[in-house]
């Protein structure tokens, strides 16, 4: 546990320091599978479990697989096979709902589709849960740089640069 804690501190600490950030938000989807372990390592951590229409998630995974294949980059099975994507989504949803039900004071469940169609009340609820002051600028994330954008878009497989410049929109809700 100590080694894992130190690894996370070394990995994210420099980013936090360079951005003069007070908080860290790490959104790797597979984190939901280890929320309990993260909670043990970081007792003051808060968790936001974002759920999305599983069909849209599977569609997104398949687009990632197609981009990877086009670039000759191997991807995990779930990015190449629909059945594997469905299994992966099911596992993540079950883990998230389980954690949220065990730790309702530490985990807020947010529906992605609601965020894209009603961003103000959802971001206000998020801020209340996280103990942050709400700002109108939260409705326009595309206007601000993302500290991890370069590393996330380096291969252009999981994210493309244009995705960081998109406004909140329900356009992909029914992908």
Q: Are 15 and 3 in contact (CB under 8 A)?
A: no
Average of pLDDT values for 134-160?
Answer: 78
Average of pLDDT values for 16-22?
Answer: 75
> What Å distances lie between residue 73 and 40, 80, 101, 111, CA to CA?
35, 12, 38, 31
Give pLDDT, residue 23: 77
Instruction: Region of 131 please: left (phi>0), alpha (psi -120 to 50) or beta.
Output: left
3-class SS at 7?
A: helix
Tokens 């995705």 -> residue? 163
Q: Taking the CA of residue 123 as centre, how many other CA atoms within 13 Å lie in the half-sphere pointing to its CB?
A: 15
Q: Return the closest-CA partner of residue 159 out of 169, 168, 150, 167.
A: 150
Instruction: Give the E-state strand segments of the chain in sequence order.
Output: 47-51, 107-111
**Hey, which of 9-23, 62-76, 109-123, 158-172 has the most confident mean pLDDT?**
109-123
Alpha helices per DSSP H over 72-169: 82-102, 112-117, 119-130, 149-153
pTM attached to this predicted model: 0.85
pLDDT at 89 over 70: yes
Average pLDDT, rounded, for the chain: 88
Give pLDDT, residue 147: 66
């Amino acid at each position: 546990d100590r080694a894992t804690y130190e690894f996370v501190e070394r990995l994210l600490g420099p980013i936090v320091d360079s951005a003069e950030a007070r908080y860290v938000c790490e959104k790797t989807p597979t984190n939901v599978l280890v929320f309990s372990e993260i909670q043990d390592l970081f007792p003051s951590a808060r968790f936001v479990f974002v759920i999305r229409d599983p069909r849209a998630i599977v569609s997104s995974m398949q687009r990632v697989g197609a981009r990877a294949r086009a670039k000759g980059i191997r991807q995990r099975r779930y990015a190449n096979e629909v059945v594997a994507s469905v299994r992966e989504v099911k596992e993540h949803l079950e883990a998230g709902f389980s954690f949220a039900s065990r730790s309702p004071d530490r985990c807020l469940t947010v529906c992605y589709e609601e965020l894209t169609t009603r961003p103000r009340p959802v971001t206000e609820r998020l801020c209340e849960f996280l103990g942050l002051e709400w700002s109108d600028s939260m409705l326009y994330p595309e206007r601000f740089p993302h500290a991890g954008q370069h590393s996330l878009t380096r291969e252009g497989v999981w994210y493309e640069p244009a995705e960081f410049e998109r406004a909140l929109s329900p356009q992909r809700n029914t992908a």
